[in-house]
Amino acid sequence: METKVTRVFDIDPNSIDFDKIKIGGDILKNGGTVAFPTETVYGLGANALDEGAISKIFEAKGRPQDNPLIVHISDIEEIYPLVREVPVEARRLMDKFWPGPLTIIFEKSQKIPLKITGGLNTVAIRMPSHSIARALIKSADMPIAAPSANTSGKPSPTTAEHVIADLMGKIDMVIDGGPTGVGLESTVLDLSAGIPTILRPGGITKEDILTIFPKVNVDPAIIQKDDKLIPKSPGQKYKHYAPKAKMKIVQGDIYKVSHKINQLVTEYVDKGLSVGIMATTETKDRYKEGNIIVVGNRKCPETIATNLFKVLRDFDMLNVDIILAEGIEENGIGMAIMNRMNKASGGDIMYI
């Protein structure tokens, strides 16, 4: 693809420079691409109503054409031209969790191109809470299609540096608004089956959604590999979040887990391999060999979510041959963390 001049602007989310935001908005209005921070990860935005602009997202990322994109809006009222209807159940979710890291599946209107939906008649929509994201969408005065701003398949970007490493020269602009907060992509929820079904776990947890509905299902595709799956949500079908090194997860009692990881480290080091250990605050001192990086605190799994993709990229920088990671409990946001780790490892999980 043709090399672009990628402009990079620093913008303080607490004191927004609207002149810089307008530059980004004008780029989007003219069919260009802008990477920007959200509360989850950095997104790569383009005009959601322009097939030519949308194609630039797929080209820059190297993203499969049948992998749907999420449409971002800045105000609830902006959703109505984009969907056939807003069910009462969806409105209850929107009122409680928007703006925020929840994506809802709707039947699309004719305004939404099939290129965004992977050929499906449904569209995924969310309203981010990040001040820069909202300001950019308002400035562009259009819905913005925005998957994560990374090379397809690599760990999602949680800093502008990650975006620049992957997409410099491939997109028109990067807005550096500092590190993101949640660190994992939004929860995707489908209401079409009657019972609300989580297609991708994220910052809004199953427990959160159960405060509104008496029952919430979790799509089996979250834990089952199925190459024939027709994805209704980004991240369901293709390999995602993968570091350069092979990754293995060890899941079980934490004392047994750390003991097993130490055994594996010895085996790999004896073979001349460089080993990375994704440890937690509680376990880091149990490891004496290998490249140890603390991903977060098991008592506060939100810290693990925030740091997960950064740590995977840190291991890339260390050029390790294999990463050994501790599994965590799948309660609350732990479900989303383990979903991403499972995909990053290609499903290589050892249960002990």
Q: Tell me: the pLDDT tens digits for 79-112?
A: 999 999 999 999 999 999 999 999 999 999 999 9
- How many domains is the chain built from? 2
Residue 230 lies in a domain: no
Q: What angle do CA 179, 180, 183 make, to 5 degrees?
A: 125
Do residues 213 and 83 both lie within one domain? Answer: yes
Residue 84 lies in a domain: yes
For all residues of the chain together, what is the average pLDDT? 94
Nearest one of 279, 274, 291 to 250, comparing CA atoms: 279
Q: How many residues can be counted in the chain? A: 352
Nearest one of 234, 186, 253 to 38, comparing CA atoms: 186
Do residues 274 and 336 both lie within one domain? Answer: yes
- Dihedral over Cα of 138, 34, 124, 56: its sign: positive
Which CATH number does the domain housing residue 56 bear? 3.90.870.10
Nearest one of 246, 268, 253, 220 to 322, comparing CA atoms: 246
CB atoms within 10 A of CB 251: 21
Do residues 300 and 201 both lie within one domain? Answer: no
Q: Is 319's pLDDT higher than 90?
A: yes
Compute the distance between CA of residue 327 and CA of residue 185 in angstroms, rounded to an integer.
Answer: 19
Do residues 121 and 259 both lie within one domain? Answer: no
Least confident of 148-152, 183-187, 238-242: 238-242
Residue 64 lies in a domain: yes
Residue 225: band (very low, low, confident or very high) from pLDDT cuts 50, 70, 90: low
DSSP string, 284-351: GGG--SSEEEEEEBTTBHHHHHHHHHHHHHHHHHHT-SEEEEE----STTHHHHHHHHHHHTTT-EEE
pLDDT at 221: 77
Spatial contact of 186 and 72, defined as CB atoms under 8 Å apart = no
Q: Is 32's pLDDT higher than 80?
A: yes
Residue 145 structural domain: 7-222
pLDDT at 301: 98
Which CATH number does the domain housing residue 299 bear? 3.40.50.11030
DSSP string, 90-121: HHHHHHHH-SSSEEEEEEB-TTS-HHHHTT-S
Rg over alpha carbons for the chain, rounded to the nearest Å, is 20
Residue 263 C-beta-side C-alpha neighbours within 13 Å: 7
Q: Is 55's pLDDT higher than 90?
A: yes
Do residues 210 and 285 both lie within one domain? Answer: no
Q: CB within 8 A of 247, min separation 6: which ones? A: 312, 322, 323, 324, 325, 341, 344, 345, 346, 348
Do residues 116 and 20 both lie within one domain? Answer: yes
Q: Which of 175, 190, 222 is the last residue of a domain?
A: 222
CA-to-CA dists, residue 152 to 71, 123, 166, 234, angstroms: 18, 20, 9, 11
**Looking at the whole model, is its pTM more than 0.85?**
yes
* Mean pLDDT, residues 262-266: 98
Residue 235 lies in a domain: no
pLDDT at 224: 58
What is the bridge-based pairing of β-strands 173-176 and 291-296?
A: unpaired
Element of type H or E holding 125? strand 122-126
Encoded amino acid at 227, one letter: D
In eight-state DSSP terms, residue 79 is G
**pLDDT > 90 fraction of the chain, expressed in percent and rounded:** 90
Kindly provide the b/e burial profile for residues 306-328, where b requires at least 16 CB atoms within 10 angstroms of the residue's own CB.
Answer: bbbbbbbbbbbeeebebbbbbbb
Q: Is 43's pLDDT higher than 90?
A: yes
pLDDT at 239: 58
Q: Is 248's pLDDT higher than 70?
A: yes
> Mind listing the pLDDT tens digit for each residue in 1-21?
779 999 999 999 999 999 999
Do residues 28 and 83 both lie within one domain? Answer: yes
Spatial contact of 182 and 39, defined as CB atoms under 8 Å apart = yes
Do residues 11 and 122 both lie within one domain? Answer: yes
* Cis geometry, peptide bond prior to residue 87 (ω within 30 degrees of 0): no
Residue 64: band (very low, low, confident or very high) from pLDDT cuts 50, 70, 90: confident
Residue 236 lies in a domain: no
Residue 13 C-beta-side C-alpha neighbours within 13 Å: 17
pLDDT at 240: 72
Do residues 130 and 55 both lie within one domain? Answer: yes
Q: Is 233's pLDDT higher than 70?
A: no
Burial class (CB in 10 A: 0-12, 13-18, 19+), 5: exposed
Do residues 179 and 292 both lie within one domain? Answer: no
